[in-house]
Structure formats: C-alpha cells, structure tokens
Structure 1
C-alpha cells in the first residue's frame, strides 16, 4: 500500500475508533490531561504548569500537564492507537493538518469561544483547516528575526545589516576577523539548524524565502494549491544560503546535521554570531551570553522582495474522544484570556510559552520591558504562516530534504534540485487532493 493510501486508511480508522472513546486524562484520574511540546522540567514546562494551576483555581477543573519534547508526534500516535489521546494538546500551528487528517481533533465553533472577538485575525487563520473550519484555538504567535552578537559586530566595526549583501559581509567578518579576540579561527557567521529532522532545514530557510518574495506553494482557488518552489525568488533564497555554506563558508560546521537543540548550544558557545530564529530563545541567550552582547535585528528584505518572515505559533487543540468536552472548552477560553496570555508570556523571564500574545487586548510592552521583543512584534505584521493544505508536514519535510541536500553537497545545482522538489510537492498536493 502506498504511503498516501496507508495514511488515508489510518486516518479513517482513527476517526472511527476515537469517536466516543475516553481520553487519557479524563478516563484515568478525572483530571484534564494537557500535553505540551516542551522538555520535561524545563522553564517552559514550569510555565505551562503555572497556567494549568491558574486555570484550575479559576474553574475548579483539575489538570495534569505532560511535557514532552522528543518524538512528540510519535507518542501522540501511540496514544491514539491505544484510544488514550490527551484532552488538550498545545502544539505547532503547522501540525494542524497532520492531526486533523488523522481524526484527532474536534471541530470548534469559534463564535462560541468566549473572547474570540479579541483574537488576532492572523492567528485565527492559522487555526483553520483547508475546509475553512476551525480545529484549534490560537494560543501563541511568533515571527522570526536575527539575534546577533552585538559585541562581535562592534568589534569588526560594522553596522546592523540592512540588506542580504550586508548580512553576507557581516557573516564573513565574523568568520575571518576573530570577533571574540582569542587569536584562533574558531568563529563563524551563521549558526543554522539545517538538518532534516522535523523539517528544520525548511523551517530555517522559510524566513529568507518569504523575505525575498518567494514561497513554497500558492493558492490556486477553490481550496486548491500549486507548488511554487521553482519561482526565481525562492531559488534565489536557497542559492544565497548554499553560497554561505559552500563558497563563503560562513556557516558553523555540522549545521547540516543539527536541529534547534544543538544550534542553541552552538550559539551559546560562541561558535557563530548570527542566528535567524524566533523570540522564544531570547531570554535564554540573555542569561547565558549576557544582555549587553546581544541585539535583535529584522530580517532584511531580499534583493527581489520583502518584507517577510515565517509566522507560526501554537494552538490549543481540543482532542477527539475526550470525556470532558466542557473542561476542554473552558481551558481554551482561559488560555486565550488576558490572564492566561500574561501567565504564558512569563514577563521577560525564560520559559515563555506565549511568545507574542494572540489576544489583541494584551499590551506586549506592558508585560515585557526588553525592547528587543518589539522587533519580533513588528515583524509579525508581515509574517507568513504555512498555508491551510490538508497536511503541511510532508511538504515541509520534502522541502527540508531538498534544501539540506544542496547545502550539504556543494556540487548540487540549486535550480535543478528545486525542479525535482517541485515535482515532489506537486505529487504530494495531488495525494492530498489539494492540487
């Protein structure tokens, strides 16, 4: 059986078996079980526990937070097979299609969700499936920007980058001019999570693609889509990155095998000075590197487009089969309330699970004193979310595999590889009946 047909069969079976089955939390200990994709015992997991405890205090509904990071989706698959899905999952917006096609998610009447009228329109769109219906409640949003070693930039006597040419020159200076002053050639310009795990290479490249006016796929009307990775603007962005890996050699060694967990550590160890990333690591880096050594700059417009940046975040997903649907709805409403959002933001401290608030009544500057957050807030105005195809996950993964291949193999022709990727994405859209 083909991968596509097998996926349909599994999704159909799960949709049937999950209907009416008890969730893991409700059936086992009468507590609303909440899963969040964070490392156990991390500051973020502790913030999630604070949010759940505040909800319990306000509503009387008991909760149990389960923080998992590695193989999160695989563990959800296992729970689904056992008919023990959690009641609530807080997970990436880009996972909506994947979870919906497997029959895991309850449809949500957004008009019946208290506080829905205060939710960001951009964030609301990321909670919709390809059919226009809602299958999640927005919880957190983020855009992407450049976290740069300010002390290094000043050491090499350069200004914040205003163009891709500036960015390349700054990366070259960080690589060649000993910005840490230790007398060794051990620094690089970019640190990049350019591995294929969970599609990270695609995730990393997205902001530059959008900043250049490129895209992965485009809407073709009637809920259908077409691949656009052969657009010269997209090819130009991927080529820019290949040039950094292969010609300028300004990317940290091993980047083509790294995920974000490793890349965070590479940046903290001073092996590179430019990290294109979301705001969720800002507080961590301030603590580990030092606030005076860091600045946040917007992603410069590409030579053929802009402005643009990847937009993403998390939704609160109400899982199918829960025995406590009223508790699910109440938790979602609390999570998007001003009180819930503020708890999730966690001020300027590490462990924020709400990066940018989705509740428009929450004033970011009143909650966070660090002005660097405003760069991310401003960038969110032109953020681009994954489109509402039935399942974005395989599109991101196929793209990551292709990008990683041209960065790891310097003899690879980017335009040719994007043509091959175009064929794969077209086939994937056809398999999803979205072409």
Structure 2
C-alpha cells in the first residue's frame, strides 16, 4: 500500500517528521476510498483473540462493504511495528493496549483523531475516552474495550473457614491467613497460600499488580502537578505505607505463594487453578479459563475492599489506533465508529472465549445483555466506579519497569529497608521523567 511519508531516525526508533505539521500529523497521502484496511491486532496467531477480531472485521465488511485484512502478532509486536515504520509502510489500523498510547504518539506513527469524524465517540464512557488522550489533551485513539481488577476467591475454601468475603483490608488479610494456615483444601498438608502474586520484574508485572493496592491507599508512582508535569511519588508517606503493607503479605504474614518474585502471570494463574492460592486480584479475561479448570462453583468474584483512600483499581483496555500515512482515512474512521457502536460492541463480546471486547466502553451497552453471568456485571461496575488507567506520559514502560524492580526486590529480600529503597527509586524516576521532558522539578 503506497504511502508518501518522510522519516528521520531518532534513537532506536523511526519517527515521522513532516515539515509544518505536528509529529502526529502526516503529510496528506492521496486517498483511495476503496483501498482495503490492513489491521494488526496484538494477540496470538490462531488463537481466540484472532478469531474474534476476524469476526468483528467480517461484521464491519458485511455492513459497509469495506475490506479489512487482519494480521495477528503477539511476539515482538513493537519491534515489527517499528520495522514497518522504517519501511514507510505502516498498517492502517493497530489494535493495541491503551497503555501504548504515549509511546506511539512520541514515535509519531499515529494520527490525531477528530472526534466529530468518528460517530459514537460522544457515547463512550469518559474514563475510557480519557485513556486515549495524550498529555497535550488531544485524542490519538478510540478505546473499544476495557477491563478492571476484581478479587477472585476460592468460594469453597472461604465457606470452610467460615469467614465472609472481605469488605475491608483487615478482613482481606484475615482470609489470606486462614487460607494459608487452616488447610482449606483438606489434604492434611501445609501447601496452600492466601494470595496469588505475579511479582516478577518481567514486563513490569510486580508494579502492574501492586498498582491495585498503591492507588487505593492514596499512593502514586508519579504525581501529576498543576502544570501537567510530574514528580516522583514513591517515597511519599502514602506510597511508603502501601508498600510496607504489601511487602508484609510476603514477609510477615507469609500469605503469598512461594517464588512469587520469579513469577509472571502464566505460573501465577496456575497456582490459583491448581489449588495452591485462594485469592487473586485480576481482570475478567481469566474467567473462561478458570470456569473450565476449576468450575464456576469453586470461586467467586467480588470487588476489592477499599484501601486507606478509596477502592481504586487498575483499569486497562484496548484502543483502535489510526496509523499515520493511510490511503483510506475515511475507512479508518468508519471502522473505529463501528467497533464502538452498540452493534460492534456486542459482536466483540459474543462467545465464551473468542471475544475481543472484555467490558463495553459504550454507555448504551449493558454487559449483561450479552453475558448473562452476573460476575461480568461485578467487573463492569468496578470499572465504571473505581477503574483508573496508568498515567498517559510519553513512555510509561520505564516507570513501570523501575517500580517493578524495586517492589520485586522488597518482596524477595525481607531485610531491605522500605523507605530507603523507595527513596532510591524516586531518584531513578526523576531521571526518567527528566529524559521524557515531563519532570516538574
């Protein structure tokens, strides 16, 4: 697909540069309203995610006549996208994590979105729409799917202990201790633990998981200032208290599974379904899997109990990114509008496993009209009332990675001093913010 773009190398990536335009504004390419759309989706080839996206694309084609060619990529997604950028031949649409917004805008590979050109944008949940706005306040994507964290509990274990589903953090810890010490599976062995924790540094998992506890306690990784810039915030009293509390789960109460500091999500998932851990803070995407491996009757889904400040939990999702240099911008807009429409949202949610819309982002769509399981409503309510996305900065990855390295070290080595380590971390975060030009110091 021909694209007339001019590029310049910057660091390790290719960045679009257009004289007289913003970094996200590509020089106008000759438009062809019949040109097919090339769509990349970040999911495993041949898996349920690819099947679901192809189903969504087929529904769009049936409605509009516009062809969409779907390519599923999971491994080295960003590297392959950078390669296509260097070749001046980006796909037209990229379906990617909302957390990638800052990086993609900084690289200049996405174009700014005019909300008026995408019908239905005004029907999006504001929390979701805000996740697609960059630091300049402009829209660079259209969110189409969301998720938030809730608490999965082994219901059969909890009933055996006689304890209630936790509504406070004290009850949360009490239940975790009971799962660890009272042999809830009845096998006569001391081999169960209260909480599943993916505490690995890989892809920043320790930070990703900890955010559910940090924000609810009033802490921050980085704190936004009135001028829109940021200060490191991991050594504030609120963040220190949250970190100590979380660290104590592993070091004092010892309710976290052994080896948590080396585990990313796949082995952590296995501890829950194999009956080694009794609670897990995670999104709705694992329910189909656990329903098969454990059975619906074995576990329950409840909101996380509030922290010292509120009940904020991590929200995530996917966005439709309209890549710069497309020869069919009208079709880009049309596809995004379809995906967020009532029809498109429902198509995306259909099926037990092959779904591309976790929770709807359109205000007019009730998840229970498609998914009759009331557990999905728990997740939808948590998202709407308590979900929070990671800050939209030029590159969130180094912030997440640095904080993950420190949280991981603290749960792996119980002898480390928490305030001292968090002060060191803030020094690293200050440098990261400075490098990105968003430091307020």
1:204 is paired with a residue whose SS is helix
1:137 corresponds, among 131, 134, 142, to 142
Task: Find the aligned partners of 2:187 and 2:45 in 1 and give their Cα distance.
Answer: 36
Matched with 1:307 is 311
Contact 1:11 1:101 in 2 (8 A): no
Q: CA RMSD in A?
A: 2.3
Task: Find the aligned partners of 1:339 and 1:425 in 2 and give their Cα distance.
Answer: 43
Task: Find the aligned partners of 2:229 and 2:206 in 1 and give their Cα distance.
Answer: 25
Contact 2:194 2:278 in 1 (8 A): yes
Alpha-carbon offset, residue 227 of structure 1? 1.8
State how 1:395-434 maps to structure 2 within 5 Å: 395-434=399-438
Matched with 2:188 is 183
Task: Find the aligned partners of 2:72 and 2:271 in 1 and give their Cα distance.
Answer: 24
Contact 2:14 2:85 in 1 (8 A): no
The question of 1:197 aligning with 2:202 is answered yes
Matched with 2:5 is none
Alpha-carbon offset, residue 282 of structure 1? 1.6
2:143 is paired with a residue whose SS is strand
Alpha-carbon offset, residue 130 of structure 1? 0.6
Task: Find the aligned partners of 1:116 and 1:259 in 2 and give their Cα distance.
Answer: 35
User: Structure 1, unaligned stretches of length 5 or more?
Assistant: 1-5
Task: Find the aligned partners of 1:161 and 1:15 in 2 and give their Cα distance.
Answer: 53
The 10-residue stretch of structure 1 (254-263 or 315-324) with the greater mean CA deviation from structure 2: 254-263
Task: Find the aligned partners of 2:355 and 2:418 in 1 and give their Cα distance.
Answer: 37
1:86 is paired with a residue whose SS is coil
**Structure 1 residues 288, 431: CA separation in 2 closer, same or farther (over 3 Å shift)?**
same
Matched with 1:65 is 70
Alpha-carbon offset, residue 80 of structure 1? 2.3
State how 1:29-428 maps to structure 2 within 5 Å: 31-302=36-307, 304-346=308-350, 349-380=352-383, 381-428=385-432
Contact 1:194 1:258 in 2 (8 A): yes
Task: Find the aligned partners of 2:76 and 2:399 in 1 and give their Cα distance.
Answer: 19
Task: Find the aligned partners of 1:378 and 1:149 in 2 and give their Cα distance.
Answer: 21
Contact 1:139 1:315 in 2 (8 A): yes
Alpha-carbon offset, residue 14 of structure 1? 4.2
Residues 212-249 of structure 1: per-residue CA shift (max 9 Å, x gap): 12221222122212222112222222222211222222
Task: Find the aligned partners of 2:222 and 2:161 in 1 and give their Cα distance.
Answer: 39
Contact 1:15 1:104 in 2 (8 A): no
1:89 is paired with a residue whose SS is strand
Matched with 2:4 is none
Contact 1:211 1:299 in 2 (8 A): no
Task: Find the aligned partners of 1:155 and 1:425 in 2 and give their Cα distance.
Answer: 45
Contact 1:280 1:352 in 2 (8 A): no
Contact 2:153 2:301 in 1 (8 A): yes
Task: Find the aligned partners of 1:90 and 1:266 in 2 and give their Cα distance.
Answer: 30
Residues 58-99 of structure 1: per-residue CA shift (max 9 Å, x gap): 121222222222332233223323333222111111110011
User: Structure 2, unaligned stretches of length 5 or more?
Assistant: 1-7
**Structure 1 residues 9, 364: CA separation in 2 closer, same or farther (over 3 Å shift)?**
same
Matched with 1:3 is none
Greater share of helix? 1
Task: Find the aligned partners of 2:263 and 2:324 in 1 and give their Cα distance.
Answer: 34
2:194 is paired with a residue whose SS is strand
Alpha-carbon offset, residue 135 of structure 1? 0.7
The 10-residue stretch of structure 1 (377-386 or 310-319) with the greater mean CA deviation from structure 2: 377-386
Alpha-carbon offset, residue 315 of structure 1? 0.8
**Structure 1 residues 355, 220: CA separation in 2 closer, same or farther (over 3 Å shift)?**
same
TM-score (norm 2): 0.90
Task: Find the aligned partners of 2:332 and 2:291 in 1 and give their Cα distance.
Answer: 36
TM-score (norm 1): 0.91
